[in-house]
Structure 1
């Protein structure tokens, strides 16, 4: 989760918006990567998705894909603080399945040398669950920061003064900000020479905007929270613009694993059994409902191998 507070002026910089004088609503009509401008009157350029957060389930938003760089943009500029006020991710707690998933995330970092003596920053850490996971495993120099959090809960920007960090995690953050280059430049200033940064984000190349009713796609599009969704090529381009060296690519999210039920397609199917919102993931598991569903059991077993690869992670190294 990413936010405003002292860093909002940086994170909200945009070549986005043109103002609709009749509705007084700002719209993202210009691609933030390649400056392509979409024709607002061309209805065929837009797809409509509903919000997958229960409190805003009845609200719909339009998105469009840049034909030049394939970046997906959420058309309407909204007051995100209103939508984050009822964000279900704040209800997340450490559970045994989450520990398995975090072990997978830890291994992605450890593959490139991450160990207990390194300093680590989870930027946009939400409630800091992964930081807590690491700290419980004696990673004493693991820190988290989220501008949307209160100062008592990872919102204290003074933690950034502990820079430079050997490793930085940017998990499900870059798609939440208006200007990714501004954010990455800030992180570059926090990253130690020779340090690594892991960026996890949806993969625009594998999102089918013609199927907005399918949770495999509407979860990743995640309107209106995801402002811009990028392809692998674009994220690599953004990283190289910071002078970073591409190191590794993971073609799925850390929470897409071979473990029974712990894969993206199984969770998406479980959502469809209930009300279709992501809120169900953060509520007590309705085990009977899940186990009585043949489709859920199918994806619980085979979902990892049938992945649609709607998410990705890219590792960079600072020279």
Structure 2
């Protein structure tokens, strides 16, 4: 592989790109499963980046994650997310913006739970792309698994931090953690890298520093996914192993569940029952207060 350089969009420094810090990885979305993408790691700040430029409209048209429905499993995950927000200081009277809400399932859930001042926004959803939110300020902004999809994480943080009430408004942001995603074992990282959608993945140190520079106090850092519950089969280790055991795509979790596969696989049964104990620290969730 020829050596060339690229500028990191997180730290702004130049890194040489060669075979030692890159990996070719397939998409884990069924429609694009045959396509491969290059992911490289910044030698300076350890963040991860998708090398090839993409047509956002093309890849996000009929995006599989928009298929999420509020079923039993989804409700359990939403309860876990709500508990995360409550631990961070969420109260029923707060105004809440769920930035990157997808098809709006979580804002709908929050309203049903009594958080009536909840608004959802997602630039890739025609239903939730009303940019009038940029004229408002919110007590709480929640952004779960969104910043890694942005073509420019610095600008993304500029936008959402400007929407937080000052002082004492809170930003609660969750994202994969580049520090614990290993390019030397890409088959195990397909789900976390989620190509070509995860454009830039930060480490916890970089995200904390960026928030502090924007005038936020870091209140809490959790290195565990909201998906990792003690409820059997509701944990990230099981979900990713289940996807690998089917066709290796995220689409499989929206297909009819293959109970026979689960019950005949000791590995899947083990991860379904005990996967929540296997905290790989591959997710971070930060609660920060605007000063």
Give me the TM-score of the superposition, normalised by structure 1.
0.86
Question: How many matched pairs?
Answer: 287
Distance 2:104 2:6 in 1: 34
Could you tell me which residue of structure 1 aligns to residue 179 of structure 2?
Answer: 205
Distance in 1 between the 2:264 and 2:148 partners? 36
Counterparts of 1:227-266 in structure 2 under 5 Å? 227-266=199-238
Partner of 1:182: 155
How has the CA–CA distance of structure 1 residues 264 and 318 changed in structure 2, closer, same or farther, with 3 Å as cutoff? same
Distance of 1:244 and 1:285 partners within structure 2: 43
Structure 1 residue 297 and structure 2 residue 269: aligned? yes
1: distance between equivalents of 2:281 and 2:16? Answer: 30
The one of 43, 54, 64 aligned to 1:78: 54
Q: Where does structure 1 lack aligned partners over 5 or more consecutive residues?
A: 1-26
Give a deviation string over 1:132-174, Cα, whole Å, max 9, x none. Answer: 1011112110000011111xx111122444x211000111111
Q: Residue 92 of structure 1 aligns with which residue?
A: 68
- Cα distance in 2 for partners of 1:182, 1:254 equals 26
Tell me the residue number matched to 1:149.
Answer: 125
Distance 1:36 1:223 in 2: 23
Q: CA RMSD in A?
A: 1.5
Partner SS for 2:281:
coil
Distance 1:159 1:45, change over 3 A: closer
Structure 2 equivalent of residue 45 of structure 1:
21
**Is 1:101 matched up with 2:107?**
no
Q: Give 1:178 deviation, angstroms.
A: 2.3
* DSSP-derived class of the 2:108 partner: helix
- The answer to whether the 8 A contact 1:204-1:230 is kept is yes
CA contact (8 A) 1:28 1:74 kept: no
Q: Is the 8 A contact 1:264 1:307 kept in 2?
A: no
Q: Which aligned runs of 4 or more in structure 1 are off by greater than 3 angstroms?
A: none
2-structure distance, mates of 1:78, 1:87: 14
